[in-house]
């Protein structure tokens, strides 16, 4: 159960431009594809994958209103069941065929994440941006969660 909560709250992506296009946000609808739990002596490693739909209805001009993505998360949980570390990487190919790769970390203590675009082609190439923040805002079902992102 703990790994599902961590999975639910770290998956999302967004961009935020450093100039006139900063200040937009959206939502991520994230469905679990499964996870692998590897217990260790000093903690537990959890790898999770999700299939996401990102609502970019407030995105800069020329960007799609929504994209799909696949995300991979790695989390470390202490023997006392405390979240120690989380990171995610997401990849997307939009309807125009442009690729974007997103990278971020998750703070399980404060239940928030931060991230940024790591690489892109086409409209995502050489994007100048601020980091975005992520927070959980709800769930559709036990394996599908809603996250909000903004910069």
pTM: 0.82
Give the H/E segment covering residue 8: helix 2-10
Question: Is the model more confident about 95 or about 15?
Answer: 95
Q: How confident is the model at residue 86 (pLDDT cuts 50, 70, 90)?
A: very high
Mean pLDDT of 19-43: 85
| pLDDT bracket for residue 128 (50, 70, 90) | confident
Please, which pLDDT band fits residue 111 given cuts at 50, 70 and 90?
Answer: confident
pLDDT band at 97 (very low <50, low <70, confident <90, very high): very high
Q: How far apart are CA 88 and CA 122, in angstroms?
A: 23
Q: How many CA atoms lie within 13 A of 135 on its CB side?
A: 9
- Return the closest-CA partner of residue 87 out of 59, 66, 56, 118: 118
């Amino acid at each position: 159960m703990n790994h599902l909560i961590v999975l639910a709250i770290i998956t999302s992506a967004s961009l935020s431009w450093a100039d006139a296009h900063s200040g937009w946000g959206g939502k991520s609808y994230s469905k679990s594809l499964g996870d692998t739990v590897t217990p260790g002596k000093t903690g537990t490693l959890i790898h999770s994958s999700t299939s996401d739909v990102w609502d970019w209805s407030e995105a800069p001009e020329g960007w799609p209103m929504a994209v799909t993505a696949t995300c991979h998360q790695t989390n470390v949980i202490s023997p006392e069941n405390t979240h120690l570390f989380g990171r995610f990487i997401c990849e997307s190919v939009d309807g125009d065929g442009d690729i974007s790769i997103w990278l971020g970390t998750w703070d399980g203590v404060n239940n928030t994440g931060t991230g940024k675009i790591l690489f892109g082609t086409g409209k995502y190439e050489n994007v100048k941006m601020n980091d975005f923040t992520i927070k959980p805002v709800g769930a559709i079902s036990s394996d599908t969660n809603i996250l909000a992102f903004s910069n």
